[in-house]
Chains A and B, each alone.
Chain A
């Protein structure tokens, strides 16, 4: 009789440790996913900046950038549209362990250990993937910011005067951006496309 009970104590001690670590991992995973949502929202907010430049592109100019440089990527219009409409926050559900009122027998304890280990592996996977995505989005945003500033410096070297010159150009019936400006806008469009793809990438 004592044979089973004695060894069961060790099993229950293992179970208690696992339950505590399950709860910690569950919270860490939820935090990693929250951070990912923040990174994604921040990416879509940053992408809004493209709106003030891309809105001046003629249909033909947009088509040229899309077909030549953004093949297989979101088009400039898609980037604009998605960055304007708020990115819907993903919802995740996590299994919470049921409270056991009575001391579980060996079969029940083993079943519970199995569930906890399975959940913990899954939590670890989700957490690592969420951290990977958040880190990559953060770096991609740094690169996008660089491309944006670089494009603005090249397109508007004299600030408001450059913008005014372009507006006058448009009033005279010509396009706001010339075909020579396309290389800068192409780079910005491509950078925005990569950020967009990463921000939209599913956790799994």
Chain B
């Protein structure tokens, strides 16, 4: 699972937010002035928004990838069903071949390219 997480593209730069998180951890609430608190609060909101934006983006992206793959595999399911119904061995094999090609391809294969964006 950790290995898979390294493949998640950093399409949204997160380094700044992570640095802000570290700074936030160093603050001692009692030593903060009203202005500092406002700053901390703002950083907190930015980091939270960034986390939400980043992972909402990934969720939408992966949902789209799998929706597309599902639509394709459903078409091949139909071809296989048609082949079985019509007792057409060639059609069944054609459906199986295409299905196998889609299913054995890695859904994250385009992620490396995306990571470079």
Contact = CB atoms under 8 A, between A and B. Distances in A.
Interface of A: 1, 3-4, 7, 11, 14, 92-95, 105-108, 110-111, 113-114, 117-122, 124-126, 128-129, 132-133, 135-136, 139-140, 142-143, 146-147, 150, 187, 190-191, 194-195, 197-198, 201, 204
Nearest to A191: B96
B15 to A, nearest CB: 13
A113 B53 CA distance: 13
B21 A110 contact: yes
B51 A110 contact: yes
Given A129-B107, A135-B73, A191 B1 contact: no
Given A4-B40, A132-B69, A140-B96, A126 B1 contact: yes
Contact of B84 (A1, A126, A135, A143): A143
Interface in B60-107: 62, 66, 69-70, 73, 76-77, 80, 83-84, 87, 89, 92-93, 95-97, 99-100, 102-104, 106-107
Given A121-B59, A132-B66, A143 B80 contact: yes
16 contacts: A1-B29, A94-B1, A106-B44, A107-B24, A107-B27, A113-B48, A121-B59, A124-B59, A132-B70, A132-B107, A136-B103, A139-B99, A140-B100, A143-B92, A190-B97, A204-B7
B106 A204 contact: yes
A27 to B, nearest CB: 15
B7 to A, nearest CB: 8
A3 B99 contact: no
B87 A150 contact: yes
B4 interface: yes
Nearest to A151: B89
B55 A120 contact: yes
Nearest to A6: B41
B37 interface: yes
A139 B29 contact: no
Contact of A194 (B48, B54, B59, B97): B97
B96 A121 contact: no
A195 B24 CA distance: 53
A95 B3 CA distance: 12
B104 to A, nearest CB: 5
B12 interface: no
B100 A198 contact: yes
A194 B100 contact: yes
B96 A143 contact: yes
3 A-B pairs with least C-beta separation: A107-B25, A117-B55, A107-B24
Contacts of A147: 89, 92-93
A128 B62 contact: yes
B41 A121 contact: no
Contacts of B80: 139, 142-143
